[in-house]
């Protein structure tokens, strides 16, 4: 028998999709000696830190890497949900980004989604600067959620439209299709410099370095990627943990006839989403902002992570090769303001203005008849009514009738 405390309560348990690296696939890439690689992750477009985004792209234009690897959480599924979701119960109110505002004005549901798809695809393609080839590894926690939500919303709207053919407004067009393949979903299937890999796949460069998205976290920077190295035995560049770290260590292959060592590296890629627009992410995920860069020489990788620091005037910078990249205006500052002990400003209640009422339809204009001539009766003027008065309801029969007065008789 169901418990009364939970009976009739609609509880939906959403399963987080999982995939193994063996199933998703490891894709191999061979690069020549001297090739350069940059790895980025955790942007959450369009809620990304636009100052850092510009600084990173300025660095890519100067560094001219052969490959840019995007390791998941590059797009924010919350931006797609904002197209149709009721925001009255949001914890904090946020102004829509320009990308979302443009999509809202696109028209029908399919048009709004297409606008977001095209804008998101152009953002991913914007990392292909110069000779750079972009390899994009989408994640299941954000990118897959986008496709999942859009497809479910589309099915719901199509079913309603099909079952209500007499309705005046249709929430969707069942004849239009939204692609389910992620490269086509982002309109990147015709991009020559962007390759979209399967969800949570990995890129293995020169049989040396594995670029991947992680699926677990550890308390301290560098711990999670080191545990990953113990399983993979490749040098690793790993995202998802929200931390930024670089470590180098050696292992002994054998000692006969002489000592032979293997050199390993483990790197964690930080984030560059906008802290003020991603409050649903915990502070545990906000460890460090930064990215990975390196070069291959003589079969080894010479690399490290670049970290972002805030200096004088609140401006953030990172330095690579002795060159500093600094934002023009201070961004990513804490939200809030100054408080005082003065009286607060009173405001009006809006409990009666939650929903707007439709304006009443204008009444039909009726020409009033000419007024009748007044008749004089015993010096008083009587005027007939211009419009016919509504008939009165008869008085209730249950009302008691007043008794008649009896005539008095005088006594003789």
Q: How far apart are CA 282 and CA 241, in angstroms?
A: 12
Q: Are 246 and 236 in contact (CB under 8 A)?
A: no
Contact of 201 with 188, CB cutoff 8 Å: no
Q: Which of 110-124, 274-288, 363-377 has the lowest mean pLDDT?
A: 363-377
Rounded-to-10 torsion of CA 165, 169, 171, 172? 60
Tell which residue, 281, 176, 155, 268, has the closest CA to residue 222: 268
Position 13 scores a pLDDT of 65
Q: What are phi and psi of 74, to 5 degrees?
A: -80, -25
Residue 154's pLDDT is 96
Segment 17-33, tens digit of pLDDT:
778 899 999 999 999 99
- Asked if 296 and 33 count as a contact pair (C-beta separation under 8 A), the reply is yes
For the chain, the average pLDDT equals 85
- What is the CATH code for 32-85+94-161+172-326? 3.60.21.10
Which of 219, 128, 143, 230 shows the shortest CA–CA distance to 181? 143
Provide the token pair at 208. 């040396």
**pLDDT digit string, tens, across residues 243-258:** 999 999 998 888 888 8
pLDDT at position 96 over 80: yes
Q: How confident is the model at residue 409 (pLDDT cuts 50, 70, 90)?
A: very low
Checking if the pLDDT of 352 tops 60, the result is yes
Tens digit of each residue's pLDDT (9 = 90 or more) over 51-68: 999 999 999 999 999 999
């Amino acid at each position: 028998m169901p418990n009364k405390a939970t009976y009739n309560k609609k509880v939906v348990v959403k399963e987080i999709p999982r995939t193994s690296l063996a199933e998703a696939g490891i894709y191999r890439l061979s690069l020549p000696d001297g090739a350069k690689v940059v790895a980025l992750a955790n942007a959450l477009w369009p809620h990304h830190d636009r100052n850092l985004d510009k600084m990173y792209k300025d660095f890519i234009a100067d560094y001219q890497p052969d490959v840019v690897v995007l390791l998941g959480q590059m797009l924010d599924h919350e931006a797609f949900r904002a197209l149709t979701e009721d925001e009255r119960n949001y914890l904090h109110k946020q102004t829509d980004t320009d990308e979302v505002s443009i999509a809202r004005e696109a028209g029908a549901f399919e048009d709004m989604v297409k606008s977001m798809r095209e804008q998101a695809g152009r953002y991913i393609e914007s990392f292909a600067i110069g000779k750079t080839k972009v390899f994009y590894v989408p994640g299941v926690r954000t990118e897959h959620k986008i496709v999942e939500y859009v497809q479910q919303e589309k099915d719901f709207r199509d079913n309603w439209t099909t079952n209500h053919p007499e309705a005046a407004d249709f929430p969707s067009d069942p004849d239009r299709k939204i692609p389910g393949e992620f490269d086509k979903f982002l309109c990147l299937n015709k991009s020559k410099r962007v390759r979209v890999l399967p969800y949570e796949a990995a890129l293995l460069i020169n049989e040396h370095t594995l670029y991947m998205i992680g699926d677990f976290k550890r308390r301290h920077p560098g711990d999670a990627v080191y545990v990953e190295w113990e399983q993979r035995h490749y040098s690793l560049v790993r995202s998802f943990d929200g931390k930024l770290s670089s470590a180098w260590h050696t292992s002994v292959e054998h000692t006969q006839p002489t000592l032979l060592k293997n050199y390993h590296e483990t790197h964690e890629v930080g984030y560059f989403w906008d802290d003020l627009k991603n409050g649903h992410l915990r502070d545990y995920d906000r460890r460090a902002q930064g990215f990975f860069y390196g070069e291959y020489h003589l079969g080894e990788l010479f690399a490290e992570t670049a970290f972002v620091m805030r200096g004088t005037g609140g401006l953030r910078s990172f330095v690579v090769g002795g060159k500093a990249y600094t934002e023009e205006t201070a961004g990513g500052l804490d939200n809030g303001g100054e408080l005082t002990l003065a009286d607060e400003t009173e405001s009006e209640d809006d409990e009666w203005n939650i929903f707007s009422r439709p304006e009443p339809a204008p009444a039909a204009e009726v020409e009033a008849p000419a007024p009748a001539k007044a008749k004089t009766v015993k010096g008083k003027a009587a005027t007939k009514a211009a419009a016919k008065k509504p008939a009165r309801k008869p008085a209730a029969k249950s009302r008691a009738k007043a008794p008649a007065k009896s005539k008095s008789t005088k006594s003789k």
